[in-house]
C-alpha cells in the first residue's frame, strides 16, 4: 500500500472491530464498538464507518447468505472484511492513493486474521471475554492495547505501512522451515524426546527454531502458525537483539519501539473517554489489569539461557514475574510457555498449567531438569545446524525470484528479502496483480463449490519485459519473476520446469 507524504494515518487506514449483537437500540450504538483505529477519531465518525460496514455486510448477505463479505471496492477506498467470530467483524478501510495504490486485499485480510489468531492465543476468544463481562470494558481494554502493540510493527516514524506490492513474494500465515540432513534430524528427534521427559507429563509440546526457521515441532498446524509467528516477532535472537520484530515488513527498524510508545501515548485517554461517555459503564480503563504480550523489548535472555519477561505481572504473594501462558487450540487449555535459547537455537516447551504440581512453583524443577538432561544435546544440535546453515541467502536460487506455498501444510519458502529488493517496481507490481488474479480465481472456486486445487498457470509480460509466472497444482502454489527482457515465453516456461524439477521434486512440471 502506498501513501503520499502528506497522508496522515487516519486518512490512509481505519481498522475497527464491532459486535453485531450489541448496540441495536437507539442510544446504545456505541456499545457495538469493541476497537477502532485511529482511536482518537470522534465517535460520530467511528459510528459512521461501522454503520456503513454493517450495511454492506447486511446487503451482501442478501445475495450470498453462506459466504461472508470479503472486500468492497469503492472509488476512493477498499473495504476489507473478516468475520473473526460469529457476528464479530473486523473491517479495514484503506485509502486509495494516486501513486502506488497497489495492494492485495488477501494480504490485508491476512493481517486481520493474524492479529485475531494471536489475540485468541493469549486472551481466549472475544466472545468468551464478552460473556465473562457483558459491559465489554475488559474486552475493549485487551483489544486496544494488543492491537496497538501489533500495529507498532508496521510503523516507521509516524507513518503506518501495511503490506503492499513490494511484499508480493511473501505470504503471512505460513511457516518457514530449515532443511536439515538425516544425521541432524536424528539428533533433533533425540532432543525432543528428552524435552518431553523433562516436562513430566504426556501432553507437553515443543517448538525448536534455528534463527527464524522452524526445525521441529509437535504442535498442531493451527497452533504452530501462531506460535511460529510470535516466536519470530519477539523471541528469536534477531528479535531480542534488534528490539523490533523480524516478522515485520519493516525489518529491524530503529524507530519502531519509540513509534509504538508515541502511538499509545497519543491515545491513552481514549478508553477513559469512551467509558465517561456512557452512563452504563462508569468503571474506567485503569480498573483492568492488562497483559500486553506484544510489547517490544520485554523479553530478555537470563544467565541460565531461559528467556524471561515481566509481561504477565507478578505472582500472588511473590516478587518474581508470573510465567507466560498461552491457549492451545489443539487441547483447548492454557499452557505454560517455557523458552530456552542457546546461540541461534530457540527451544520452547509448552506444559499444561493443570499438570504442574504446586502451580508456577513447579516450573523451576522443569527448567532444572532441562539444564541437567538436555544441555549437552542442545549444544550438539546447535553446532550441527550451524555447520550446515548457509546463511540468510541459503535458499537463494541464482536467476530466480520465487515464492513457494504449501497451503495444506502451512509452509512457505521464498527468495531472501535482500534478493527480492533487486527487482524493479514494474516486476513487483505485475506480481501483485497476478496474485490478485489468483486470489480471485480461488475465491470464485470456493463460492461455486468447485475444485479449488485444479491445476492453473498464468504468465504475464511486465512493462519492463520481465516474465511473471504462477503455477498452482494440488494445493501448492509457485510464484516466480524472471527479469531477462529478451527471453521468450518458451524460455521462461523451461526455466520454471528446471526450477520445479530441481527444487520442487517436479511438482510444478507440466
**326 three-class SS:** strand
- Please give the full DSSP string across 213-227, using - where no structure is assigned: EEEEE-S-HHHHHHH
* 397 or 320: which leads in pLDDT: 397
CA distances for 198 relative to 130, 227, 366, 442, angstroms: 37, 21, 6, 45
pLDDT value of position 318: 64
pLDDT value of position 266: 47
Mean pLDDT of 313-334: 85
Band of the pLDDT at 285, cuts 50, 70, 90? very low
Q: Is the pLDDT of residue 3 over 60?
A: no
Largest CA distance in the chain: 73
pLDDT value of position 300: 96
Side-by-side strand order, sheet with 71-73: 33-37, 13-19, 88-95, 77-85, 71-73
The label of the residue with cell 509457485 reads: 478
Residue-wise pLDDT for 185-231, tens only, equals: 999 999 999 999 998 887 899 999 999 999 999 999 999 999 999 99
- Compute the C-alpha angle 190/195/197, nearest 5°: 100
Count the Cβ atoms, other than its own, within 10 Å of residue 488.
9
Rounded-to-integer distance, Cα 193 and Cα 185, Å: 13
pTM listed for this prediction: 0.91
pLDDT value of position 252: 41
- 345 Cβ partners below 8 Å, 6+ apart? 208, 209, 210, 215, 378, 381, 382, 385
- The crossing angle, in degrees rounded to 10, of helices 221-230 and 105-123 is 90
pLDDT value of position 278: 46
Residue-wise pLDDT for 425-465, tens only, equals: 999 999 999 999 999 888 887 766 665 567 889 999 999 99
Under 8 Å between Cβ of 119 and 126:
yes
Band of the pLDDT at 11, cuts 50, 70, 90? low
Q: Which helix (H) or strand (E) holds 200?
A: none
Rounded-to-integer distance, Cα 319 and Cα 313, Å: 9
* 76 or 370: which leads in pLDDT: 370
Rounded-to-integer distance, Cα 256 and Cα 301, Å: 21
Q: Which among 86-100, 325-339, 452-466 has the top mean pLDDT?
A: 325-339
The label of the residue with cell 477498499 reads: 78
Cell, residue 117: 489468531
The percentage of the chain sitting over the pLDDT mark of 90, rounded to a whole number, equals: 67
At 441, phi and psi to the nearest 5? -60, -45
Cell, residue 211: 534463527
**400 three-class SS:** coil
Amino acid at each position: 500500500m502506498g501513501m503520499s507524504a502528506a497522508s496522515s494515518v487516519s486518512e490512509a487506514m481505519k481498522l475497527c472491530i464491532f459486535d453485531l449483537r450489541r448496540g441495536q437500540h437507539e442510544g446504545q450504538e456505541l456499545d457495538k464498538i469493541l476497537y477502532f483505529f485511529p482511536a482518537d477519531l470522534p465517535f460520530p465518525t467511528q459510528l459512521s464507518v461501522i454503520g456503513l460496514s454493517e450495511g454492506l455486510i447486511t446487503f451482501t448477505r442478501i445475495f450470498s447468505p453462506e459466504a461472508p463479505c470479503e472486500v468492497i471496492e469503492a472509488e476512493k477506498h477498499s473495504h476489507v472484511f473478516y468475520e473473526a467470530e460469529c457476528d464479530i467483524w473486523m473491517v479495514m478501510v484503506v485509502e486509495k492513493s494516486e501513486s502506488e495504490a497497489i495492494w492485495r486485499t488477501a494480504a490485508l485480510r491476512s493481517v486481520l486474521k493474524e492479529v485475531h489468531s494471536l489475540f485468541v492465543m493469549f486472551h481466549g476468544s472475544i466472545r468468551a471475554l464478552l460473556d465473562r463481562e457483558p459491559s465489554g470494558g475488559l474486552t475493549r481494554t485487551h483489544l486496544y492495547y494488543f492491537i496497538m502493540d501489533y500495529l507498532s510493527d508496521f510503523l516507521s516514524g509516524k507513518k503506518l505501512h501495511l503490506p503492499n506490492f513490494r511484499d508480493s513474494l511473501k505470504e503471512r500465515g505460513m511457516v518457514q522451515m530449515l532443511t536439515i540432513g538425516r544425521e541432524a534430524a536424528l539428533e533433533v528427534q533425540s532432543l525432543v524426546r528428552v524435552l518431553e521427559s523433562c516436562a513430566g507429563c504426556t501432553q507437553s509440546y515443543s517448538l525448536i527454531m534455528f534463527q527464524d526457521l522452524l526445525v521441529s515441532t509437535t504442535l498442531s498446524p493451527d497452533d504452530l502458525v501462531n506460535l511460529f509467528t510470535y516466536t519470530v516477532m519477539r523471541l528469536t535472537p534477531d528479535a531480542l537483539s534488534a528490539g523490533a520484530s523480524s516478522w515485520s515488513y519493516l525489518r529491524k527498524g530503529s524507530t519502531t519501539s519509540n513509534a509504538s510508545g508515541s502511538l499509545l501515548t497519543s491515545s491513552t485517554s481514549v478508553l477513559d473517554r469512551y467509558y465517561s461517555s456512557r452512563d452504563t459503564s462508569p468503571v474506567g480503563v485503569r480498573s483492568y489489569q492488562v497483559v500486553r504480550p506484544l510489547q517490544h523489548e520485554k523479553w530478555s535472555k537470563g544467565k541460565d539461557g531461559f528467556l524471561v519477561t515481566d509481561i504477565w505481572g507478578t505472582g500472588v504473594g511473590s516478587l518474581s514475574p508470573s510465567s507466560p501462558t498461552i491457549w492451545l487450540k489443539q487441547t483447548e487449555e492454557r499452557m505454560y510457555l517455557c523458552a530456552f535459547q542457546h546461540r541461534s537455537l530457540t527451544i520452547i516447551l509448552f506444559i499444561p498449567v493443570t499438570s504442574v504440581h504446586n502451580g508456577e512453583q513447579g516450573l523451576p524443577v522443569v527448567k532444572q531438569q532441562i539444564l541437567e538432561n538436555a544441555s549437552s544435546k542442545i549444544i550438539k544440535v546447535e553446532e550441527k545446524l550451524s555447520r550446515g546453515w548457509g546463511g540468510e541467502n541459503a535458499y537463494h536460487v541464482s536467476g530466480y525470484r520465487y515464492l513457494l506455498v504449501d497451503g495444506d501444510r502451512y509452509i512457505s519458502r521464498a527468495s531472501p528479502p535482500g534478493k527480492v529488493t533487486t527487482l524493479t517496481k514494474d516486476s513487483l507490481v505485475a506480481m501483485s496483480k497476478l496474485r490478485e488474479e489468483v486470489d480471485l480465481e480461488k475465491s470464485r472456486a470456493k463460492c461455486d463449490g468447485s475444485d479449488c486445487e485444479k491445476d492453473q498457470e498464468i504468465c504475464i509480460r511486465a512493462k519492463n519485459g520481465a516474465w511473471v509466472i504462477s503455477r498452482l497444482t494440488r494445493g501448492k502454489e509457485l510464484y516466480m519473476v524472471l527479469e531477462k527482457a529478451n527471453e521468450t515465453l518458451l524460455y521462461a516456461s523451461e526455466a520454471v520446469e528446471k526450477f520445479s524439477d530441481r527444487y520442487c521434486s517436479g511438482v510444478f512440471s507440466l
